[in-house]
Amino acid sequence: MLGEGVIKGMAVTARNFLGSYVSKDRLTTVQYPEERQTLSEATRQFPFLVYDGDEWQKGLRCVACQICEKECPPKCIFIQKSKDKKPDYVGKPQYYPATFDIDLSVCMSCQICVEVCPFEAIKMDTEFELSTGDRFGELLVNRRQLAKPNSHYRKIHPTEAAEVDARLAAEKAKAEAKAKADAEAKAKAAAAPKPTAVPAAATK
């Protein structure tokens, strides 16, 4: 039938138009900021740095490997690696970012920094209310502004955070078991009786 496709298309348009007045799922207009939509778990805006424990400087997962800086397409990440090491929240000496800046006015929210990070140290936040009159001053954020606790990560991305926490816990348990086994092996070797040296005259 001539024009059948046009009629079907118009029917879909009419159904959606009329449904937008009665269907809750199609009521797309939200009286913001009084009303707010519930953000999905997959929502991503700009990166933040994850830290464990209560102290952000001690608990930062970032070890300043600079992979995210190198892989960032718009080059909005700037990192300076520390010259010394500090113990992390579990007591292991690690390098840390002496400087970690992100220019949010340049960031394209591509999430590549998250994908390439081998330490689960950088994740995508859901915060979008970042409007400011000072584009270059207020949108250039430093490591203190970027640092957020793991509890924040669990809150905004619970499924993903649970998987990461489980993986990190398994890796930590494996490392502790290896360290314990190495310590026991060294203690056993130290406690073993040493062979007595045979006098040279006795060998003749």
What is the reported pLDDT for 165? 94
Q: pLDDT tens digits for 132-177?
A: 888 788 899 999 999 999 999 999 999 999 999 999 888 888 888 8
What is the reported pLDDT for 204? 53
What is the reported pLDDT for 146? 97
Domains and CATH numbers, the chain: 47-168 (3.30.70.3270)
What is the reported pLDDT for 184? 86
Q: Is the pLDDT reported for residue 126 higher than 70?
A: yes
Q: Is the pLDDT reported for residue 123 higher than 80?
A: yes
pTM of this structure: 0.76
What is the reported pLDDT for 31? 84
| Under 8 Å between Cβ of 125 and 46 | yes
What is the reported pLDDT for 203? 53
What is the reported pLDDT for 150? 96
- Enumerate residues 6+ apart whose C-beta is below 8 A from 97: 60, 62, 64, 79, 80, 81, 82, 143
What number is the average pLDDT over the span 19-32? 76
